[in-house]
Amino acid sequence: MNLTEDIKKEILDHAKEESPKESCGLIIIKKGRTRYKKCKNIAELPKHTFVLATDDYIKADEEGEIVGVVHSHPFEQPLPSDGDKIACEKSQVPWYIVNPQTEKWGYYEPSGFELPYVGRKFQFGIIDCYSLVRDYFKKELNLHLKDYYRVDEFWKKGQNLYEDNFMNEGFRKVPLEEIQKHDVLLIHLESNLPNHAAIYVEDQQVLHHVQGRLSSRDVLGEYYIKNTAFVARHKSL
């Protein structure tokens, strides 16, 4: 969908108002007319990413049909990152990106984009160890795990999200000595609660994504074994 010059001006003005933070908003159709709805960016690091406020999304959805997502890249070219592409695929509507300094525009629409297992750039809550587990189970086993909302360092807030949610998804605990292909190791990295997940892919190899690193396939070494809280196996296996 092509945006009118008036809508583009609204978006650009909003982006300049919010800079150096990323702005965000929604394109809706109300009574046959296209409108732009400003939204709050509630991300913990709003200069580098955006999280659209749930209340704003609900209000926009009640007001009209959501047909697009908008955000700005104050310091970068208006090209979709891998995180943008993944989130766009989930939203199933086009995404519009603008740089408030250069006033240049970018565009991306759902096209079936998938990330490879290895070499992913970490972005908590979007491209992280749990999203790798979800993608693996969907592609390799045709199992669709729920995408739970998670905030960075949830374990420091006393939330045991991994243990609780893996059990909710039909996993059960098995002894480490009985580990087999497709099992998931729930690991605590500098934490008393599990805060990392790794998929056992056979031959003492795990597929995982550690924060601050690219996703990788590594040897299941002594460090990860020592810090494994438990091994989880899906009920279908």
Strongest mean pLDDT among 15-19, 119-123, 144-148, 152-156: 15-19
- pLDDT per residue over 62-80, tens digit each? 999 999 999 999 999 999 9
Query: Does residue 188 have an active-site annotation?
Result: no
Indicate the pLDDT class of residue 164, thresholds 50, 70 and 90. confident
**pLDDT value, residue 26:** 97
| Weakest mean pLDDT among 42-46, 92-96, 185-189 | 42-46
**Residue pair 108/199 in contact by the 8 Å Cβ criterion:** no
Looking at the chain, the domain(s) classified CATH 3.90.1720.10 span 129-234
Query: Does residue 234 have an active-site annotation?
Result: no
Indicate the pLDDT class of residue 192, thresholds 50, 70 and 90. confident
147 vs 151 pLDDT, higher one: 147
On the question of pLDDT at 104 being above 80, the answer is yes
Q: Say which residues have a Cβ less than 8 Å from residue 122's Cβ, sequence separation at least 6.
A: 128, 209, 210, 211, 212, 213, 214, 215
- Region 27-40: what's the mean pLDDT? 94
CA distances from 155 to 131, 178, 196 (A): 17, 27, 10
- Region 155-180: what's the mean pLDDT? 88
Which of 14, 73, 196, 209 is catalytic? The answer is: 196
**Residue pair 131/46 in contact by the 8 Å Cβ criterion:** no
Helix residue ranges, H only, the chain: 5-18, 54-63, 82-91, 129-141, 161-168, 222-226
CA geometry: angle 85, 46, 186, nearest 5 deg: 65
**Residue pair 196/209 in contact by the 8 Å Cβ criterion:** no
* Burial class of 89 by CB neighbour count within 10 A (0 to 12, 13 to 18, 19+): middle
On the question of pLDDT at 158 being above 80, the answer is no
**What 3-state class would DSSP assign to 18?**
helix
- Region 35-39: what's the mean pLDDT? 97
* Phi, psi at 86, each rounded to 5°: -65, -45
On the question of pLDDT at 230 being above 90, the answer is yes
On the question of pLDDT at 31 being above 90, the answer is no
pTM for this one? 0.76
Looking at the chain, the domain(s) classified CATH 3.40.140.10 span 5-108
Fold classification of 5-108 is Cytidine Deaminase; domain 2 (3.40.140)
On the question of pLDDT at 3 being above 70, the answer is yes
Q: Say which residues have a Cβ less than 8 Å from residue 235's Cβ, sequence separation at least 6.
A: 170, 171, 172
Q: Say which residues have a Cβ less than 8 Å from residue 236's Cβ, sequence separation at least 6.
A: 141, 143, 170
**pLDDT value, residue 67:** 96
Which of 71, 73, 182, 208 is catalytic? The answer is: 208
**What 3-state class would DSSP assign to 57?**
helix
**Residue pair 179/165 in contact by the 8 Å Cβ criterion:** no
Query: Does residue 129 have an active-site annotation?
Result: yes
Residue 176: DSSP 8-state: G
Please tell me the CATH code under which domain 129-234 is placed: 3.90.1720.10
- The total number of residues shown for the chain amounts to 237
On the question of pLDDT at 82 being above 80, the answer is yes
Which of 39, 129, 182, 209 is catalytic? The answer is: 129
Q: Is omega for the bond preceding 116 within 30 degrees of 0, making it cis?
A: no
**pLDDT value, residue 1:** 66
